[in-house]
Structure 1
Amino acid sequence: MKWDPSKYIQFGDYRDRPFFDLTGRIHAEKPHHVVDLGCGPGNLTATLARRWPHAGVLGIDSSPEMLAKAADSRGESHLAFELADIAGWMPSADTDVVVSNAALQWVPGHQDLLARWLEALKPGAWFALQVPGNFNSPSHVLMRELADSPRWTGTLNGVLRGGDSVSEPAEYLTIMLDSGCLAESWETTYQQILTGPDPVLEWVRGTAMRPVLAALTEEDAVAFQTEYAAALRTAYPRSRHGTVFPFRRIFAVARKKT
């Protein structure tokens, strides 16, 4: 699946906010090794390097396009990026902080991975994750329904995942507690005001719609988006202030007991 970094960061202020709400709950004072799993274009990874200037900060992502953009963030000598599948990653003995922001929803079975990562972390280390909690929102349900319709199911069958892509806050909390951590989990629904023509379509083009666009020809992608946009306009009507787009996110932060 090919990513478009410029499309991903189009709504940067809104997409970045959960990252800072998440990392604000990490109270590591002087970490030596910090890892950002699924770092994307690297702009947020760079903020970790600035926060902890004496730590080695590593961003990992499986998208060459994203990491090409991340090269723009390499202003810190202690900041590096690596092309890899985060599903194959394990913390090293010196890992102090792990952040995964809006990435684990792309990894089937990440709950088992999370348990293994936490077991491998050294005492005192931190793990913070954030995933979208809107798989059952109209934006995602309408996309799946259209993909399952007679016109598109032959091409798009099995391309999109549903609400089982992520867990609820309580399950992440339980995984963390069972792994010998002090932990907290919570959810936030941001009421975002999007502007412009078909703004919800523009939003999902940057993330949730990437598998669909990767599976379709250019001509079919235009036809699919035309049909999908019409359904989105009904589900998310424009008001005099813009289009209100509820944006639910799930957070969990753990610190391995010492």
Structure 2
Amino acid sequence: MTANDWSAAQYLKFEEERTRPSADLLARVPLAAPAAAIDIGCGPGNSTELVAARYPEAAVEGLDSSPDMLEKARRRLPGLVFHLGDIANWQPARAYDLVFANAVLQWLPDHERLLPRLAGALAPGGCLAVQMPDNFDEPSHATMREIAEVGDWAPKLRGAKDAKADIGSFDDYYRWLRAAGCAVDIWRTTYVHPMAGAPAIAEWFKSTGLKPYLDRLDAGEREAFVSAYVERIDARYEHHEGGTLLLRFPRLFIVARRPG
């Protein structure tokens, strides 16, 4: 794994919580028997596994830009095909009945063009299924930005918050995908995860939201940044019995279907 690669082990510390939105998204996909499906941004294969289990007769593939994630996915699902590649430059060699994108498109810009382009990879009657974290304004993420703006590390961290794309509104995604000829189903769910204190919240985000900040710092700075994050998070969430904090996690869901 390279220094700035995505860590599958870190990501999978909260596998059950991270997989639940994938299951909720897949449950709303109105396809009976797709022939070909691809999980783009498949990570360590936890979401790909759900797709393959629901559609055992389909040819299911995975795509990810992280070698470490793909190594874990191939070990987990040795019978499936996984590709190393960047969604931003992805040129599908075939049309898919299902393009599944769980918790990945928030890392890519220009959704006005991106989502219609992905819908263009669908076979007639196919579905684009998308889930994205929509937690920019939650304390978990506002705290990252605040810490990054103060202290000696501020110059290094300038622009780190822009690693994640702006999430559009319901109206934006509906308009963009309707213009691409799709029927569109959109909803938002706020998950509430009981966490074993502020350090657990930091552990959750080390593999996602905190990563663009930590990647720019040296080892000592990373430790100091996480320590400052834990201290502020501890003060921003209500403490329950045993020190449990409730992590609010809003997520945006989209299922767009191309006409048959």
Do they superpose with TM above 0.5?
yes
Retained in 1: the 8 A contact 2:147–2:229?
A: yes
How many Å apart are 1:119 and its aligned residue? Answer: 3.5
- 1:7 matched to which residue of 2? 10
Question: Which residue of structure 2 lines up, in the alignment, with residue 235 of structure 1?
Answer: 236
Could you tell me which amino acid in structure 2 is paired with residue 41 of structure 1? P
- 1:212-252 alpha-carbon deviations (Å, 9 max, x no partner): 22111111100111111111101123211611111100000
Which stretches in structure 1 are left out of the alignment for 5+ residues? none
Q: Which amino acid letter does the alignment assign opposite residue 134 of structure 2?
A: G
Across the aligned residues of Structure 1 and Structure 2, the Cα RMSD in angstroms comes to 1.7
* Range 243-252 or range 107-116, more displaced: 107-116
The alignment partner of 2:20 has SS state of: helix
Counterpart of 1:180? Answer: 181
State the partner residue of 1:19: 22
Alignment correspondent of 2:85 = 84
Given that 1:135 and 1:163 are in contact with CA atoms closer than 8 Å, whether structure 2 keeps it comes out as: no
How many correspondences in the alignment?
Answer: 256
Pair 1:149 & 2:154 matched? no
CA contact (8 A) 1:199 1:243 kept: no
TM-score (norm 1): 0.93
Alignment-derived partner of residue 253 in structure 1: 255
Distance 2:228 2:94 in 1: 51
Runs (4+) of structure 1 exceeding 6 A deviation are: none
SS in 2 for 1:29: coil
The corresponding residue for 1:221 is 222
Cα separation, 2, equivalents of 1:83 and 1:222 = 31
2:47 counterpart of 1:44: yes
The whole-number CA distance in structure 2 between the counterparts of 1:47 and 1:57 is 10
Q: Per the alignment, do residues 205 and 235 of structure 1 end up closer, same or farther by CA in structure 2, a change over 3 Å counting?
A: same
Q: Distance in 2 between matches of 1:194 and 1:63?
A: 27
Shift of 1:164: 5.0
Secondary structure, aligned partner of 1:2 = coil
Q: How does 1:161-172 map to 2 (within 5 A)?
A: 161=162, 165-172=166-173
C-alpha contact 1:2 1:210 (8 A) present in aligned 2: no
* 1:30 alignment partner in structure 2: 33
SS at match of 1:238: coil
- Write the letter of the residue equivalent to 1:20: A
Deviation at 1:9, TM superposition (A): 1.2
Structure 1 residue 161 displacement after superposition: 2.2
SS at match of 1:6: helix
| One-letter amino acid of the structure 2 residue matched with residue 256 of structure 1 | R
Shift of 1:104: 0.3
1:81-101 CA-to-partner distances (Å, cap 9, x unmatched) read: 111001112444431100000
Structure 2: which 5+ runs fail to align? none
Identity over the aligned pairs, expressed in percent? 37
What amino acid does structure 1 have at the position aligned with 2:55?
W
